[in-house]
Structure 1
Amino acid sequence: MRNYRDCVVAVIVGENGLVFAGERDDRAGVWQLPQGGIDPGESPKEALLRELREEIGTDRVRVVREGQDWIHYDFPEDLEAPIAKKFRGQRQKWFLLEFLQDAEPSIEKSDKEFASLSWKNPAELMRDIVAWKKEAYEKGFEIFSLIKE
């Protein structure tokens, strides 16, 4: 039985409750929050800051809140990505963050996982993520009270 991959998710909140997201470089029109795996010996917060540097070019954030529970999701059976061969899915630690005043996110400074970066309404982001992550995002946004009915 394959295990879950431990990872972190960065929910960077800006003005008017918008969240900072990236359009995936490998899937046009598919957006997600910055996220990534926790390396062996790395704490979730260390992984969070490393992933932010890698994906959006800055780790200049303030942690507002850390979700207490881990959120799980399974990869679809037909997912061809190498990670899906190694892991059953992901076990995520969610963090609510704010950019520091001197933060300058940029895909030009990143590892190019994203084709573009933008502020999104959480409900809009829910429409633009892959279907198999939707339940995890609903749980994560609920933890931080980001989606208003």
Structure 2
Amino acid sequence: MFRQNVAALIKFKDKYVACFRSDHSTWQNVQGGIEDSDKSPLKAIIRETKEELGLEENDFKIIYQSKYWRRYFFPKEILKKERFKGNIGQEQLWFLIELKNFNSINLEKSVGEFQKVDLFDIERFLETYSKWKKPGFYDFCRELGVIKY
């Protein structure tokens, strides 16, 4: 079974917010499972953005929702984690979010999933992105037209 999940590519000016994980030292974006309390994937990505970056809803604007869900499989080390028990991977719905002010990110108000954030151009973000999650991210970037290859 695939766990339902939302993910966000967060844009600030001509760069994208890259988040460095606290637990397995890889760069990725805001993402997370859709919880029973979420009324929709849109509500889930708003919650995740607030939880993971310490942002308030008025600090960002959702400007696009992907046309379809994307799947990836968990590597063996992730399959061992209790919170993912019974799932072989995640099915993600992606969003493009525009951040109004990069300095509004406050990791001290977040849940601690990320130890730092930075602004990357899309090519650098793709190069450094978590290997097993990269195909879905790459595909969403192609859907947006931010990459052509």
TM-score range, shorter chain: 0.7 to 0.9
CA deviations 1:32-53 (Å, max 9, x no partner) are 0001111125200110111011
Q: Does 1:48 align with 2:45?
A: yes
**Given residue 93 of structure 1, which amino acid in structure 2 is its aligned partner?**
L
**Alpha-carbon distance between aligned partners in 2 of 1:105 and 1:97, rounded to the nearest angstrom:** 13
The count of residues paired between Structure 1 and Structure 2 equals 145
**Alpha-carbon distance between aligned partners in 1 of 2:102 and 2:141, rounded to the nearest angstrom:** 26
Shift of 1:87: 0.9
Paired residues of 1:94 and 1:140 also in contact (CA < 8 A): yes
Q: Which consecutive residues of structure 1, in runs of 5 or more, have no partner in the other structure?
A: none
TM-score normalised by length of structure 2? 0.88
Shift of 1:103: 7.2
Q: Does 1:119 align with 2:105?
A: no
Q: Does 1:24 align with 2:39?
A: no
CA deviations 1:56-113 (Å, max 9, x no partner) are 0013211111111001111123433334433111111111111235971111110110
Q: Does 1:66 align with 2:65?
A: yes
Change (3 A) 1:57 1:41: closer
**Given residue 72 of structure 1, which amino acid in structure 2 is its aligned partner?**
R
Higher mean C-alpha displacement, 85-94 vs 72-81: 72-81
4+ residue segments displaced more than 4 Å: none
**Alpha-carbon distance between aligned partners in 2 of 1:109 and 1:75, rounded to the nearest angstrom:** 28
Change (3 A) 1:14 1:100: closer
Shift of 1:114: 0.1
Corresponding residue number in structure 2 for 1:39: 35
CA RMSD of aligned residues (A): 1.8
Q: Does 1:82 align with 2:82?
A: yes
Q: Which consecutive residues of structure 2, in runs of 5 or more, have no partner in the other structure?
A: none
TM-score normalised by length of structure 1? 0.88
